[in-house]
């Protein structure tokens, strides 16, 4: 549009002949331009005279030069005089007292002068624009709006092409001050909540009697003046259409700084309350200040209608809603970004504090929806996990606890579970490398682990997610309800519907197989049942039932048989007891023996330790077996002599120790001492058929009780009279750690695995001897065929097998070349 | 010194008194149970034939039911008779 009118006018200009100057044209030009530039002069020409002159000018074709001339005058004036004057005015004279209030006034004064200098030209331009709009005297041109636009573009270009930092500094200082003033006034106006007052004051750093707004003594307070100055400044800037250019940057940086400051002060480390509404209220107050700064800025649409009018006509104090809207949006956006960044940084702590930190998670969720910081969150959280959690200094149970918290918190944060899946990948990977992970998880599932009841609660939740159904493909979800994954989702084989948020499924799937957990649980259950031996299984039955809901009936079958064994044993014991009680007194067994009778195929492998029990015990066991055989035809009992518990009383010369609960080997040892008061290690070891080292360790218990004493020559003897307290003290210190016992009755996982591998190795060697060389796959298939029908029913992953074979290669027991394995030529010994 | 045992809780495992470990029909251990059962022992007993071979009761019954003509021990092909 503008360029079009420009061409028009320039072509007109060429048409004018320079040498045909009509009479009176010079006078007319002078009169009209003077009237335009200074309409208020005393000797202003009358309206008719002006019209006549204007007519003359237009007739001669000089009318269209006026606007060009005016713009040129304006720009030249600006470049040569006004702008330098403005910058000079902004500077303070040397030695002048540097006071904030003074600086604010100087700033305003500089703008006042600027306006005064430019006002005549601007007025002239407006006048000419009006004439053009009216089409007076045939005057044509771009019109008022376009003319002033051109003028202001020129002003902005010349004045602010490279503004010195000083202007920005001054604006920043002045606006900050008005902000403080505004906030303190708004704070006084609005009824403030308890406690906030003090906080605010503390934040402002007030020392007794200092005005909160302008930070000087109350009697020097210039709050009102500051606001007045602001109003005028805003007005001037708006008149010059410089408001946005000059203030925006300062306003933006003030807002950013203050939001950040406030957030640091109030929100950091505080997760238990939501700050969204608090900040919303605060931002509304701040918006009041923004509206003051931009009080005189006009709407673009309104500018069109009132462009011709002078600034004074515009409604002061009512900035256009569009501008405020923009600022509100800007603040909102900035708040969300800063807040989200801070929470992301703190996310690890927030997760650790979950569920107390739920408000913080909610806030973060709100902000994340409005900013694109998911990637930042993922990276930061992953790093936090790796540096703070996944190192050898953290106990496995703590890692699991944090992981559970993370599951709970993140599924709240992101219902699509993508963040959960991606961010927790390192935890899962790391847990896989910890040996006691399974034991910890199973322990907390059954409520054994100290302080970790989350999983036990989770297990007894009302609507368990069956682990089985997760594997099935045909989940009848409505295709209409399908929503695409967020872009940061992992592109792996598990689709969105497999992305589980169930804590137990997630934990169990760490290893990709639930069998390992079931085996571990079986071991734990066996330990528990064998250790307590009181036949009360209510809790275990409940756990097994709950686990059945999760893992499926068939997998828990073995455990059910174990529990049934306990119940059966109790019945058989009662039965046998009854039978015994009917015997005449002299045939009553010397030992009250009861038994836990196991179905060996269904229990985990028990540690195989042999031990000779004293005759009195073996006789009782034989009698018991005898009665059992009568009760259950064609069945017999194999006693595990080292398992069980014994309750006994010890009667010594001067004291009695009663109701000691010890293991069978301890009981056997002390029974031997009953027969003979002094034993050497070799003798005991021989009598018990147990290695000397074990006997020595077991003896420690009796030494601690002060019943047995080690004498010179390596012999042990009963101590019939209590040792002096001093002696006792020495002893207990000495023997503190001597009864360290492997607390599990079952062979450990690694022991069982080793056993399995030894078996495999025998097969592999035999295969390779016959077939010379085989590929990994072939070995795997063959093993599956042979071994699974053997006594040890086991499965072996191909990866596990490869690791095993590679280890053998490293040990030079196997050769691997060109993808096949073979035995070394000369067998390695 | 006098030791008074008040209670001795022992642990034992039961097993069938049989001349083999595994059932000749299902190949599962006698001390376990036949493929159709879940609980060993009383619920899945063993039976002996006069030929002295023994099987899970459920296994041998299934076998005998499937024999149309003569009822023989699957191990020794003698006529199957339950040991009294």
Chain A, residues 541-570, CB within 8 A of chain B, namely 557, 560-561, 564, 568
Q: Is residue A793's pLDDT more than 70?
A: no
* Nearby residues of B6 by Cβ (< 8 Å), 6 or more positions away: A592, A647, A648, A649, A659
Picking from B2, B4, B5 by the largest number of A CB atoms within 10 A of its own CB, the best residue to mutate is: B5
Overall average pLDDT of the A343-349 stretch: 86
| Closest by Cβ to A593, choosing from B10, B15, B41 | B10
Q: Is residue A723's pLDDT more than 50?
A: yes
Tokens of A117: 């200098």
From B74's Cα to the closest Cα of chain A, the distance in A is 20
A677/B1 touch (CB, cutoff 8 Å), yes or no: yes
Overall average pLDDT of the A673-696 stretch: 86
Contacts of A664 in chain B (CB under 8 A): 8, 10
Cβ–Cβ < 8 Å for A364, A410: no
Q: Which residue has the tokens 């006098």?
A: B2
Short-list A365, A369, A372, CA closest to A347: A365
Contacts of B2 in chain A (CB under 8 A): 650-651, 674
Max Cα-Cα span within chain A: 160
Q: State pLDDT tens for residues A622-653.
A: 989 988 988 888 889 988 888 888 888 888 88
State how far the Cα of A717 lies from the Cα of A698, in Å rounded to an integer.
Answer: 14
Contacts of A668 in chain B (CB under 8 A): none
Q: Is residue A206's pLDDT more than 60?
A: no
pLDDT, position A14: 44
* Nearby residues of B13 by Cβ (< 8 Å), 6 or more positions away: A597, A598, A599, A600, A603, A637, A638, A640, B31
A632/B32 touch (CB, cutoff 8 Å), yes or no: no
Three-state DSSP class for residue A74: helix
Tokens of A522: 């079986």
Short-list A572, A544, A556, A604, CA closest to B38: A556
Overall average pLDDT of the A667-689 stretch: 87
Chain B, residues 22-41, CB within 8 A of chain A, namely 27, 29, 31-32, 38-41
Q: Is residue A732's pLDDT more than 50?
A: no
pLDDT, position A163: 66
Max Cα-Cα span within chain B: 72
Burial of A337 (0-12, 13-18, 19+ CB in 10 A): middle
From A529's Cα to the closest Cα of chain B, the distance in A is 11
pTM: 0.66
Burial of A441 (0-12, 13-18, 19+ CB in 10 A): buried
Other CB atoms within 10 A of residue A390 CB: 17
State how far the Cα of A610 lies from the Cα of A615, in Å rounded to an integer.
Answer: 15
Rounded to the nearest 5 degrees, what angle is found at the Cα of A142, between the Cα atoms of A136 and A144? 70
State how far the Cα of A639 lies from the Cα of B11, in Å rounded to an integer.
Answer: 6
| Closest by Cβ to A592, choosing from B3, B8, B29 | B8
Q: Is residue B34's pLDDT more than 80?
A: yes
E strand or H helix at A28: helix A25-37
Other CB atoms within 10 A of residue A12 CB: 14
CB of A591 within 8 Å of a chain B CB? The answer is yes
Cβ–Cβ < 8 Å for A140, A122: no
A650/B1 touch (CB, cutoff 8 Å), yes or no: yes
CATH number of A749-822: 1.10.10.10
Rounded to the nearest 5 degrees, what angle is found at the Cα of A431, between the Cα atoms of A425 and A436? 165
B11/A639 touch (CB, cutoff 8 Å), yes or no: yes
Overall average pLDDT of the A139-161 stretch: 74
Chain A, residues 697-726, CB within 8 A of chain B, namely 707, 718, 720
A634/B12 touch (CB, cutoff 8 Å), yes or no: no
Three-state DSSP class for residue A652: coil
Rounded to the nearest 5 degrees, what angle is found at the Cα of A724, between the Cα atoms of A718 and A727? 80
Q: State pLDDT tens for residues A58-93.
A: 777 766 677 777 778 777 877 877 777 777 777 765
Q: Is residue A423's pLDDT more than 50?
A: yes
Cβ–Cβ < 8 Å for B37, B28: no
| Closest by Cβ to A595, choosing from B11, B27, B29 | B11
Bridge partners of B22, per DSSP, are: B29
Query: What is the radius of gyration, based on Cα positions, of chain A?
Result: 47
pLDDT class of A488 with cuts at 50, 70, 90: low
Contacts of A677 in chain B (CB under 8 A): 1
pLDDT, position B33: 86
pLDDT, position A287: 79
Bridge partners of A774, per DSSP, are: A821
Residues of each domain in chain A carrying CATH 1.20.1310: 33-162
B13/A597 touch (CB, cutoff 8 Å), yes or no: yes
B1/A592 touch (CB, cutoff 8 Å), yes or no: no
pLDDT, position A523: 86
Instruction: Identify the closest residue of chain A to B33 by CA–CA distance.
Output: A601
Contacts of B9 in chain A (CB under 8 A): 533, 594-596, 644-646
Complex ipTM value = 0.92
Q: Can you give the residue ranges of every domain in chain B?
A: 14-83
From B65's Cα to the closest Cα of chain A, the distance in A is 25
State how far the Cα of A599 lies from the Cα of A561, in Å rounded to an integer.
Answer: 8
Instruction: Identify the closest residue of chain B to A654 by CA–CA distance.
Output: B1
B8/A635 touch (CB, cutoff 8 Å), yes or no: no
Q: Could you tell me how many CB contacts below 8 A there are between chain A and chain B?
A: 144
State how far the Cα of A639 lies from the Cα of A567, in Å rounded to an integer.
Answer: 18
State how far the Cα of A611 lies from the Cα of A687, in Å rounded to an integer.
Answer: 9
State how far the Cα of A621 lies from the Cα of A616, in Å rounded to an integer.
Answer: 9
B13/A638 touch (CB, cutoff 8 Å), yes or no: yes
Picking from A560, A595, A709 by the largest number of B CB atoms within 10 A of its own CB, the best residue to mutate is: A595
End-to-end CA distance of chain B: 53
A665 vs A178: which has the higher pLDDT: A665
CB of B19 within 8 Å of a chain A CB? The answer is no
State how far the Cα of A562 lies from the Cα of A573, in Å rounded to an integer.
Answer: 17
* Nearby residues of A664 by Cβ (< 8 Å), 6 or more positions away: A611, A613, A617, A641, A642, A643, A644, A645, A646, B8, B10
DSSP letter string over A614-644?
Answer: PHHHHHHHHHHHHHHHHHSTTEEEEEEEEEE
pLDDT, position A315: 42
pLDDT class of A507 with cuts at 50, 70, 90: confident
| Closest by Cβ to A652, choosing from B1, B46, B48 | B1
Q: Is residue A721's pLDDT more than 70?
A: yes
Other CB atoms within 10 A of residue B57 CB: 16
Torsion region of A269: left, alpha or beta (phi above 0 gives left; psi -120 to 50 gives alpha): left
pLDDT, position A466: 56
Instruction: Identify the closest residue of chain A to B3 by CA–CA distance.
Output: A650
Cβ–Cβ < 8 Å for A637, A624: yes
Three-state DSSP class for residue A297: coil
Residues of each domain in chain A carrying CATH 1.10.10.10: 749-822
From B14's Cα to the closest Cα of chain A, the distance in A is 4
pLDDT class of A790 with cuts at 50, 70, 90: very low
From B58's Cα to the closest Cα of chain A, the distance in A is 17
Other CB atoms within 10 A of residue A543 CB: 25
Query: What is the radius of gyration, based on Cα positions, of chain B?
Result: 18
CB of A600 within 8 Å of a chain B CB? The answer is yes
| Closest by Cβ to B10, choosing from A644, A659, A720 | A644
Q: State pLDDT tens for residues A552-606.
A: 888 888 888 888 888 888 899 898 888 888 888 777 777 888 888 988 888 888 8
* Nearby residues of A820 by Cβ (< 8 Å), 6 or more positions away: A773, A774, A775
Q: State pLDDT tens for residues A115-148.
A: 777 777 777 777 777 777 776 666 666 666 777 7
3-class SS shares of chain B: helix, strand, coil, % to 5: 10, 35, 55
Q: State pLDDT tens for residues A426-471.
A: 888 888 888 888 888 887 777 765 555 667 777 776 565 555 444 4
From A645's Cα to the closest Cα of chain B, the distance in A is 5
CB of B68 within 8 Å of a chain A CB? The answer is no
State how far the Cα of A555 lies from the Cα of A508, in Å rounded to an integer.
Answer: 14
Give A605-723's CATH code, choosing from 3.30.70.370, 3.30.230.130, 3.40.50.300, 1.10.390.10. Answer: 3.30.230.130
Short-list A196, A186, A185, CA closest to A221: A185
Residues of each domain in chain A carrying CATH 3.30.230.130: 605-723
Contacts of A536 in chain B (CB under 8 A): none
Alpha helices for A97-242 (secondary structure H): 100-134, 144-159, 165-189, 196-204, 223-239
Instruction: Identify the closest residue of chain A to B13 by CA–CA distance.
Output: A598
* Pairing state between β A593-599 and B2-16: parallel
CB of A293 within 8 Å of a chain B CB? The answer is no
Q: State pLDDT tens for residues A251-295.
A: 888 888 888 888 888 877 778 878 888 888 888 877 777 777 776
Contacts of B8 in chain A (CB under 8 A): 591-594, 617, 620, 644, 646-647, 664, 667
From B49's Cα to the closest Cα of chain A, the distance in A is 14
Give A33-162's CATH code, choosing from 1.20.1310, 1.10.287, 1.10.3470, 3.40.50. Answer: 1.20.1310
CB of B84 within 8 Å of a chain A CB? The answer is no
Q: State pLDDT tens for residues A381-398.
A: 888 888 888 888 888 888
Tokens of A400: 């699991």
A727 vs A418: which has the higher pLDDT: A418
Average pLDDT, chain A: 74
Alpha helices for A453-589 (secondary structure H): 454-459, 503-508, 515-532, 538-551, 557-581
| Closest by Cβ to A673, choosing from B1, B4, B6 | B1
Cβ–Cβ < 8 Å for A28, A56: yes
CATH number of B14-83: 3.30.40.10
The CA distances from residue A6 to A36, A139, A146, in Å, are 22, 15, 11
Burial of A824 (0-12, 13-18, 19+ CB in 10 A): exposed
Tokens of A23: 């009479």
B4/A648 touch (CB, cutoff 8 Å), yes or no: yes
**Helix-then-strand count for chain A, H and E:** 34, 9
Q: Is residue A161's pLDDT more than 80?
A: no
Picking from B11, B18, B27, B41 by the largest number of A CB atoms within 10 A of its own CB, the best residue to mutate is: B11
Q: Which residue has the tokens 């056997």?
A: A668
pLDDT, position A471: 43
pLDDT, position A451: 54
pLDDT class of A20 with cuts at 50, 70, 90: low
| Closest by Cβ to B11, choosing from A625, A634, A640 | A640
Picking from A561, A621, A635 by the largest number of B CB atoms within 10 A of its own CB, the best residue to mutate is: A635
pLDDT, position A16: 46
Torsion region of A112: left, alpha or beta (phi above 0 gives left; psi -120 to 50 gives alpha): alpha
A635/B5 touch (CB, cutoff 8 Å), yes or no: no
pLDDT, position A727: 55
| Closest by Cβ to A598, choosing from B9, B13, B17 | B13
State how far the Cα of A247 lies from the Cα of A163, in Å rounded to an integer.
Answer: 13
pLDDT class of A533 with cuts at 50, 70, 90: low
Q: Strands, E, within A729-776: which ranges?
A: 773-775
| Closest by Cβ to B16, choosing from A564, A634, A677 | A634
Burial of A764 (0-12, 13-18, 19+ CB in 10 A): buried
Overall average pLDDT of the A476-502 stretch: 59
């Amino acid at each position: 549009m503008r360029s079009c009118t420009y061409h028009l006018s320039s072509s007109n200009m060429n048409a004018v002949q320079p040498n045909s100057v009509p009479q009176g044209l010079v006078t007319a030009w002078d009169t009209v331009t003077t009237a335009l530039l200074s309409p208020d002069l005393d000797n202003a020409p009358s309206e008719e005279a002006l019209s006549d002159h204007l007519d003359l000018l237009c007739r001669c074709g000089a009318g269209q030069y006026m606007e060009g001339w005016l713009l040129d005058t304006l720009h030249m004036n600006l470049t040569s005089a006004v702008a330098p004057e403005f910058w000079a005015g902004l500077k303070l004279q040397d030695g002048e007292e540097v006071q904030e209030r003074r600086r604010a006034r100087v700033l305003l004064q500089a703008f006042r002068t600027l306006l005064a200098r430019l006002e005549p030209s601007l007025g002239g331009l407006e006048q000419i624009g009006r004439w053009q709009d009216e089409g007076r005297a045939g005057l044509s041109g771009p019109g008022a709006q376009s003319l002033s636009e051109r003028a202001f573009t020129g002003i902005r270009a010349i004045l602010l092409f490279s503004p010195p930092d000083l202007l920005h500094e001054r604006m920043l200082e002045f606006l900050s001050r008005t902000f403080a003033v505004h906030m303190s006034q708004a704070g006084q106006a609005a009824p403030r909540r308890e406690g906030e007052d003090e906080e605010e004051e503390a934040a402002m750093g007030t020392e007794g009697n200092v005005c909160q707004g302008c930070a000087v003594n109350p009697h020097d307070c210039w709050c009102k003046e500051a606001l007045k100055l602001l109003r005028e400044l805003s007005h001037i800037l708006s008149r010059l259409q410089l408001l946005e250019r000059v203030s925006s940057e300062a306003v933006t940086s003030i807002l950013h700084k203050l939001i950040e400051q406030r957030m640091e002060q109030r929100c950091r480390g505080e997760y238990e309350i939501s700050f969204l509404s608090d900040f919303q209220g605060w931002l509304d107050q701040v918006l009041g200040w923004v509206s003051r700064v931009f009080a005189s800025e006009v709407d673009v649409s309104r500018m069109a209608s009132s462009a011709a009018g002078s600034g004074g006509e515009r409604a002061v104090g009512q900035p256009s809603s569009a501008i405020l809207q923009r600022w509100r949006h800007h603040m909102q956006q900035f708040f969300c970004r800063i807040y989200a960044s801070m929470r992301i940084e703190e996310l690890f702590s927030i997760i650790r504090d979950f569920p107390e930190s739920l408000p913080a998670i909610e806030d973060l969720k709100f902000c994340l929806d409005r900013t694109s910081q998911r990637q930042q969150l993922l990276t930061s959280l992953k790093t936090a996990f790796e540096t703070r959690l996944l190192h050898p200094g953290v106990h496995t149970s703590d890692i699991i606890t944090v992981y559970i918290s993370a599951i709970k918190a993140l599924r709240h944060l992101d219902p699509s579970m993508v963040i959960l899946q991606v961010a927790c990948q390192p935890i899962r990977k790391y847990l896989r490398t910890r040996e006691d992970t399974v034991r910890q998880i199973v322990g907390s599932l059954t409520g054994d682990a100290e302080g970790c009841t989350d999983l036990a609660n989770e297990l007894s939740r009302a609507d368990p997610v069956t682990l089985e159904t997760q594997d099935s493909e045909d989940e009848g979800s409505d295709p209409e309800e399908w929503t695409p994954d967020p872009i940061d989702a992992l592109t792996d084989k598990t689709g969105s519907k497999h992305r589980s948020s169930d804590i137990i499924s997630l934990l169990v799937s760490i290893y990709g197989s639930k069998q390992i957990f079931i085996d571990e649980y079986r071991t734990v259950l066996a330990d528990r049942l064998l250790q307590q031996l009181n036949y009360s299984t209510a809790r275990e039955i409940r756990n097994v039932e709950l686990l059945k809901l999760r893992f499926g009936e068939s997998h828990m079958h073995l455990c059910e048989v174990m529990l049934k064994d306990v119940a059966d044993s109790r019945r058989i014991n009662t039965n046998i007891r009854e039978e015994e009680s009917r015997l005449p007194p002299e045939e009553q067994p010397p030992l009250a023996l009861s038994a836990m009778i196991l179905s060996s195929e269904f229990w985990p492998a028990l540690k195989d330790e042999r031990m000779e029990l004293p005759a009195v015990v073996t006789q009782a066991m034989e009698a018991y077996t005898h009665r059992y055989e009568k009760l259950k035809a064609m069945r017999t009992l194999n006693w595990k002599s080292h398992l069980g518990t014994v309750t006994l009383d010890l009667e010594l010369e001067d004291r009695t120790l009663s109701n000691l609960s010890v293991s069978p080997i301890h009981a056997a040892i002390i029974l031997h001492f009953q027969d003979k008061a002094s034993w050497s290690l070799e003798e005991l070891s021989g009598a018990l058929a147990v290695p000397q080292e074990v006997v020595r360790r077991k003896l420690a218990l009796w030494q601690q009780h002060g019943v047995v004493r080690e004498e010179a020559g390596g012999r042990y003897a009963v101590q019939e009279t209590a040792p002096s307290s001093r002696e006792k003290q020495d002893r207990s210190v000495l023997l503190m750690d001597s009864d360290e016992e492997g607390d599990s009755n079952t062979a450990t996982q690694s022991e069982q695995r080793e056993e399995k591998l030894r078996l495999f190795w025998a097969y592999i060697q035999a295969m390779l001897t016959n077939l010379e060389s085989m590929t990994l796959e072939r070995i795997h298939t063959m093993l599956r065929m042979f071994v699974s029908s053997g006594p040890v029913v086991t499965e072996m992953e191909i990866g596990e097998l490869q690791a095993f074979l590679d280890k053998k290669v490293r040990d030079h027991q196997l050769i691997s070349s060109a993808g096949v394995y073979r035995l070394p030529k000369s067998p390695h010994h | 010194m006098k030791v008074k045992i008040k209670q001795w809780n022992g642990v034992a495992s039961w097993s069938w008194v049989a001349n083999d470990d595994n059932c000749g029909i299902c190949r599962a251990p006698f001390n376990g149970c036949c493929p159709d059962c879940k609980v060993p022992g009383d619920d899945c007993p063993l039976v002996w034939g006069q030929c002295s071979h023994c099987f899970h009761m459920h296994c041998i019954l299934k076998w005998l039911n499937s024999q149309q003509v003569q009822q023989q021990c699957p191990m020794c092909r003698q006529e199957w008779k339950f040991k009294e």
